[in-house]
């Protein structure tokens, strides 16, 4: 228990559990048509899986954006990358024509990963090569990518093959209306992202660059390559999210993921990522996304005015940033007192 409470994600997990308990307590109940039994409006398999599924699509992107934030950058183009990737994938599959499930899934995955990586590479190369603030670069590409999706699709919704949707919406034997595939993909991406950040040299370099770029440069780290790499990863996760989302819902359009930039950055910040760089976690970003979706779900379940959703999420971002700032100041004071105590002890005869 002591180790759990000291873990970085313990606070988020406790808040999620507390919010889930409150929702279960106040959500009320309804009669299940299939069984005739009273079922809690929130604490039931369908609602819980739907909440997790809603979190998956921008939680996957939040993991990639968290790496960008750790490096000291920002990526506002993930939603547009999602839209462009989904539209191009759907149009390519429509042009390819009917095919087997394996061929369809393979081509869709390759297209989504390739286009996502290409978009991320463009962002990274321009940020490093032009030496312009990433906010400006990704703000521009946000409009460019969505504009390309709009022109290419002619603002139409493009259907994806049914066999691709059947794979993503497979119940895996858990029963009808329960689709765990997006949830499993989200967990897998979070685990891989955490391993990359904590167990690889490239991941640790991201923390070093975000914490102190000048010190990282003097240590011989290749800042340009590392920064391009984090934007490529951000584009890659946006491509994965587009693959899961477009195949799950059965279509793609240029309006997909509009406004996801807020949710993605909010998930990273609520998950503990510092906007000044050097701090963040892939698993915490996933938990932050789950928490934000639970906040949205609580507004619907408790029948509050949904117009307040943006207000609540904005307040959550502000509170998270303020708490991070206060925590950093307290940590700095503790380090100063510790250093002062050591100097005092060493100065005594």
- Domain ranges, residue 273: 44-332
Write out pLDDT tens, residues 61-70.
Answer: 999 999 999 9
> What letters, b where the CB count within 10 A reaches 16 and e where it falls short, cover 145-159?
bbebbbeebeeeebe
| Residue at 77 is within a domain | yes
What is residue 299's three-state secondary structure? helix
Does 172 reside within a domain? yes
CATH code of the domain covering residue 279 = 1.10.3470
The answer to whether residue 339 is domain-embedded is no
Residue 11 lies in a domain: no
Q: Residue 236: inside a domain, yes or no?
A: yes
Instruction: Identify the residue whose tokens are 């999602």.
Output: 82
CB 146 within 8 A of CB 83: yes
The whole-model pTM stands at 0.89
The reply to whether 36 falls in a domain is no
Q: Which of 65, 114, 38 is nearest to 288 (CA)?
A: 65
In a domain, 282, yes or no: yes
Closest CA to 13 of 272, 322, 266, 326: 272
Calculate the alpha carbon distances from 80 to 61, 290, 298 in Å.
Answer: 12, 22, 28
Query: Could you tell me if residue 2 is inside a domain?
Result: no
Q: pLDDT at position 45, please?
A: 82
Q: What is the pLDDT of residue 264?
A: 92
What is the count of structural domains for the chain?
1
Q: What is the pLDDT of residues 141-197, one digit of tens each?
A: 999 999 999 999 998 999 999 999 999 998 887 777 788 899 999 999 999 999 999
**3-31 pLDDT tens trace:** 655 666 777 888 888 888 988 888 888 78
Asked if 278 and 211 count as a contact pair (C-beta separation under 8 A), the reply is yes
Among 136, 82, 111, 75, which Cα is nearest to 258's?
82
Confidence label for 216 from pLDDT (cuts 50, 70 and 90): confident
**Residue-wise pLDDT tens digits, 237-292:** 999 999 999 999 999 999 999 888 888 988 998 888 888 888 899 999 999 999 88
């Amino acid at each position: 228990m002591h180790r759990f409470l000291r873990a970085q994600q313990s606070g988020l997990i406790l808040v999620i559990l507390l919010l889930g308990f409150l929702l279960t307590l106040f959500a009320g109940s309804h009669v299940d048509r299939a069984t005739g039994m009273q079922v809690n409006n929130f604490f039931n398999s369908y609602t819980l899986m739907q909440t997790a599924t809603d979190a998956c699509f921008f939680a996957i992107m939040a993991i990639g954006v968290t790496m960008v934030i750790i490096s000291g950058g920002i990526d506002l183009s993930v939603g547009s990358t999602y839209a462009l990737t989904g539209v191009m994938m759907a149009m390519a599959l429509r042009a390819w024509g009917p095919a087997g499930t394996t061929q369809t899934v393979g081509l869709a995955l390759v297209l989504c990963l390739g286009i996502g990586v290409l978009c991320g590479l463009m962002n990274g190369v321009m940020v490093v090569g032009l030496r312009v603030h990433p906010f400006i670069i990704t703000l521009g590409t946000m409009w460019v990518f969505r504009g390309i999706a709009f022109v290419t699709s002619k603002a139409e919704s493009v259907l994806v093959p049914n066999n691709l949707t059947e794979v993503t919406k497979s119940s895996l034997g858990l029963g009808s209306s329960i689709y765990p595939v997006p949830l499993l993909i989200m967990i897998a991406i979070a685990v891989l992202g955490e391993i990359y950040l904590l167990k690889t040299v490239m991941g640790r370099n991201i923390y070093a660059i975000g914490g102190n770029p000048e010190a990282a440069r003097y240590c011989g780290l290749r800042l340009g390559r590392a920064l391009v790499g984090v934007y490529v990863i951000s584009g890659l996760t946006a491509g994965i999210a587009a693959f899961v989302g477009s195949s799950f819902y059965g279509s793609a359009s240029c309006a997909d993921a509009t406004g996801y930039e807020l949710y993605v950055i909010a998930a990273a910040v609520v998950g503990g990522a510092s906007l000044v760089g050097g701090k963040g976690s892939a698993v915490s970003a996933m938990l932050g996304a789950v928490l934000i979706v639970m906040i949205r779900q609580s507004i619907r379940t408790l029948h509050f005015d949904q117009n307040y959703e943006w207000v609540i999420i904005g307040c959550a971002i502000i509170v998270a940033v303020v708490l991070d700032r206060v925590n950093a100041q307290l940590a700095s004071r503790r380090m100063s007192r510790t250093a002062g105590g050591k100097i005092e002890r060493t100065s005594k005869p």
